Amino acid sequence: MTYEGARSITGPYLAILGASATVVGIVAGSGELIGYALRLVSGYISDRTGKYWTVTLFGYFVNLLAVPLLALAGHWEIAALLMIAERMGKAIRNPSRDAMLSHATQRIGHGWGFGLHEAMDQIGAILGPLIVAGVIYLKGGYRTSFVILLVPALLALGVLVVARVLYPRPHDLEIASVELKTKGFSRMFWLYLAAVSLIAAGYVDFPLIAFHFEKLSVVPKVWIPIFYAVAMGVDALSALLFGRLFDRVGLSIPIIVSLLSSLFPPLVFLGDFYTALVGMALWGAGIGAQESIMRATIAGMIPMNRRSTAYGVFNAGFGLFWFLGSALMGVLYDISIPSLIVFSVVMQLASIPFFILVRKEPR
């Protein structure tokens, strides 16, 4: 609720503070780049020290408390730094959190477990933008929205502390498998990383989409966070659906998702109000798959003693290509919107051959 509510308006907020489309694209991409690079470090530290809860708690504090501080930003540079800080906090917590989730989801199926986690996450991701939309409708403005998001931030941190007390040793929830003593990750892991990195490069971040909606008046200002909420609702449902299908079908599901999500760029950037809404639904379906089955796949590839490190490496590669793609698409938007669309579609479809190779790899 906290950070997704904020992300629904950070694009227009930067525009009001004087930022260009190129700046929005670079800021969004930089936050992801720095954040995903940090996951490489935090994942290694978590596995090395075994302090999964300590790392996770620290990351959540940074991640959530950066949001209400956006209300104090008087210049786009300060807002950009806080946006990057929010991404950094998320980066610090994610590898250790995902490792703990992988232990908790072994018995019910990794696909369903991570899908359920994503769906629960998106309940807040729907409510957050809707609260922001209500604040804006009541003439509260963007700054008031950031202040109000302090409430769910504090509630989330409180619940997290309770979880730490109840489950101090999450790895005990998983029956230990044989820990393979290898010097590196398997070829399957690297092929899989190549596939999802191409998707990351071609996936347009929402701040740039929101910037487009505001600049060309495709969507009225008050509807922008509602569009984001719709996407998050589809995200939640698709995470559950694709998670369940992944447990039954396997790596055919990412191929199907890549085909579906590649349809969103022309709908979002060339369509009218209703066409853009359909495009946002497809965008949300792709995000739901990224946050569920893509993480669940790693859990099935890597032994439990190296899983946090693997999530860190995976997310670092994903983030590097997300940054490169976001920065390039910000530039392409200022030059030619059709060229942005072509780039996005081609990069997503290019992931499919790699997914096919992963399916053929011996397990």
Taking residues 1-7, what's their average pLDDT?
A: 88
Taking residues 322-344, what's their average pLDDT?
A: 89
Let me know: does 105 contact 190? Beta carbons within 8 Å.
no
Confidence of residue 177 (pLDDT cuts 50, 70, 90): low
* Burial status of residue 342 (CB atoms within 10 A of its CB: 0-12, 13-18, 19 or more): middle
Closest CA to 122 of 328, 288, 354, 299: 288
Taking residues 57-75, what's their average pLDDT?
A: 89
Q: Is residue 247 part of a domain?
A: yes
Average pLDDT, the chain: 85
Measure the CA angle with vertex 257, ends 256 and 263; round to 5°: 105
pLDDT tens sequence across 131-147: 888 898 887 788 899 99
pLDDT at 327: 84
Given a cut of 50, whether residue 49 has pLDDT beyond it is yes
How many Cβ atoms sit within 10 Å of the Cβ of residue 187?
12
* Residue environment code for 117-140, b if the CB has 16+ CB neighbours within 10 A, otherwise e: bbbebbebbbbbbbbbbebbeeee
Given a cut of 80, whether residue 22 has pLDDT beyond it is no
35: its two tokens? 């954040």
pLDDT at 362: 63
pLDDT at 178: 46
Percentage of the chain modeled with pLDDT above 70:
96
pLDDT at 283: 94
Confidence of residue 345 (pLDDT cuts 50, 70, 90): very high
Q: Is residue 121 part of a domain?
A: yes
Q: Is residue 132 part of a domain?
A: yes
Confidence of residue 229 (pLDDT cuts 50, 70, 90): confident
Residues recorded for the chain: 363
Q: Is residue 315 part of a domain?
A: yes
Percentage of the chain modeled with pLDDT above 90:
24
The DSSP 8-state label assigned to residue 170 in this structure reads G
**Rounded to whole angstroms, how far apart are CA atoms 66 and 176?**
37
Given a cut of 90, whether residue 151 has pLDDT beyond it is yes
- The pairs formed by 32-35 with CB atoms below 8 angstroms and a separation of 24 or more are 32/87, 32/205, 32/319, 32/322, 32/323, 32/326, 33/319, 33/320, 33/322, 33/323, 34/84, 34/87, 34/88, 34/91, 34/319, 35/84, 35/87, 35/88, 35/90, 35/91, 35/319
- Which residue range is the domain that position 146 belongs to? 2-165+186-360
Q: What CATH number corresponds to the domain at position 65?
A: 1.20.1250.20
pLDDT at 351: 92
pLDDT at 72: 85
Q: Is residue 270 part of a domain?
A: yes
Confidence of residue 342 (pLDDT cuts 50, 70, 90): very high
Given a cut of 90, whether residue 348 has pLDDT beyond it is yes
pLDDT at 309: 85
Closest CA to 102 of 61, 47, 42: 47
Confidence of residue 21 (pLDDT cuts 50, 70, 90): confident
pLDDT tens sequence across 71-94: 888 788 888 888 888 988 988 998
Please state the domain count of the chain: 1
Q: Is residue 119 part of a domain?
A: yes
Confidence of residue 221 (pLDDT cuts 50, 70, 90): confident
Helix (H) or strand (E) holding 60: helix 52-69
**Rounded to whole angstroms, how far apart are CA atoms 143 and 80?**
15
pLDDT at 180: 47
In the block, tokens 């990057």 appear at: 84
pLDDT at 281: 92
Q: Is residue 171 part of a domain?
A: no
Confidence of residue 346 (pLDDT cuts 50, 70, 90): very high
Q: Is residue 125 part of a domain?
A: yes
pLDDT tens sequence across 101-117: 888 887 888 888 888 88
